[in-house]
Structure 1
Amino acid sequence: MLKTIILLTDTVQQQQPLANLLREHNRDLAFCSALSASDLSALDPNVLSGARLVSFAADVAVPEKFLLELGYGAYKFYATPTQYPGLPPAPDESDDDPRCYSVIAQSMTIWPDFKKVVGLETVTIPDGTVPAERERMVFSRLAYLFWGMSHMIAGGATDLPGVIGSSECQRPTAAMMN
């Protein structure tokens, strides 16, 4: 049974609103906060078998051993620029000022073939948008994706359904490595 959500965020201010949203869907959840890989390694190992890691807008490398010990998987919410997917950028497009972003929720595993996208949206930035407003628009869309998936994140399913990714139904375990 899912007992704990480990929230890995970029700032402390993001922790409470995310926890409050998830708690609306599962009042019995406990929450652990983390801002770095060292915060993750400081968590009680006994908690991990009943836990799910949720990384929200955090650029932190999660140790492989930690991912293997989680009983309910790990998911990362992030944004990335996506100009002309599948095509080279136009010569007049600047990489410093992307107009299109993908906000993505993706499973985190140590096996690349088992990663899957569980949520995906696109944000198009209007011409002339200043960088601060662009960042706000992208972050708002990322928060909206999290909000829309919060019932699944707080639920007890071991794996969230993928919208893009492996056709494999089973999450790999440490025993599969042998």
Structure 2
Amino acid sequence: MLKTIILLTDTVQQQQPLANLLREHNRELAFVSALRAQDLSAIDPEILSEARLVSFAADVAVPEKFLLQLGYGAYKFYAAATQYPGLPPAPDETDENPSCYSVIAQSMMIWPDFKKVVGLETVTVPDGTAAAERERLVFTRLAHLFWRMSIMIAGEVTDLPGIIGSVESQRPTLTMMN
């Protein structure tokens, strides 16, 4: 039974609104906050088998061992310019102003072949939009994707259905590594 959501966010201010939204769909959920990989390693391992990790706009590498212990999977919500799907722009290309972004919800797995996209939206930024406004537009769409998927995130489903992903549907386990 899903008992805990581990919220990994970029800022502490994002924690409470995300938890409140998920709590609307499952009042029994407990929440654990994390901002860094060290916060994840401090979580009591006993709760992980009944937990799901949700990374929202956080650029934190999650340890493989941690991912394998989660009973309800891990999902990452992030934005990427379509010119660089899944990757940040190269340092010498940061002065470009991309006009199209994807906001993506993706499973977090230790093996790339098992990852799948569970949510996807596109954001088109009008020409001449200032950088701060572009960031606000993209973040708003990312928050909308999270809101739209919140009922599934807070639910009992062990593995969210993919809209893009491998044909292999079995989640890797610790025994598969041995």
* TM-score (norm: length of structure 2): 0.93
| Corresponding position of 1:82 | 82
Cα distance between partner residues in 1 of 2:96 and 2:25: 39
Give the letter aligned to residue 154 of structure 1.
A
Aligned CA distance change for structure 1 residues 95 and 114 (closer, same or farther; 3 Å): farther
| Aligned residue in 1 for 2:102 | 102
Does the CA-based 8 Å contact 1:83-1:99 persist in structure 2?
Answer: no
Identity of aligned residues (%): 82
Deviations along 1:84-126, one digit per CA (max 9) or x if unpaired, are 98xxxxxxx9862111000000000101110000000110000
Cα deviation 1:111-153 (Å, max 9, x = unaligned): 1110000000110000110000000000000000000000000
Aligned CA distance change for structure 1 residues 133 and 45 (closer, same or farther; 3 Å) = same
Distance (Å, rounded) in 2 between the aligned partners of 1:136 and 1:95: 18
List alignment gaps of at least 5 residues for structure 1: 86-92
**CA positional deviation for 1:169:** 2.0
Q: Which moved more, 1:94-103 or 1:134-143?
A: 94-103
What is the TM-score normalised by the length of structure 1?
0.93
- Across the aligned residues of Structure 1 and Structure 2, the Cα RMSD in angstroms comes to 1.5
Secondary structure of 1:55's counterpart equals strand
5 Å matches for 1:63-142?
A: 63-83=63-83, 96-142=96-142
Structure 1 runs (4+) deviating above 3 angstroms are none
Write the distance in 1 (CA, Å) between the matches of 2:111 and 2:149: 23
Q: Is the 8 A contact 1:152 1:160 kept in 2?
A: yes
Which residue of structure 2 lines up, in the alignment, with residue 10 of structure 1? 10
Q: Does residue 41 in structure 1 map to residue 41 in structure 2?
A: yes
Cα displacement (A) at 1:83: 3.1
Counterparts of 2:167 and 2:32, CA distance in 1: 31
Three-state SS of the structure 2 residue aligned to 1:31 is: strand
Structure 2 gap ranges (5+): 86-92
State the distance in 1 between where 2:94 and 2:128 align. 13
Aligned residues: 171
Letter aligned with residue 18 of structure 1:
L
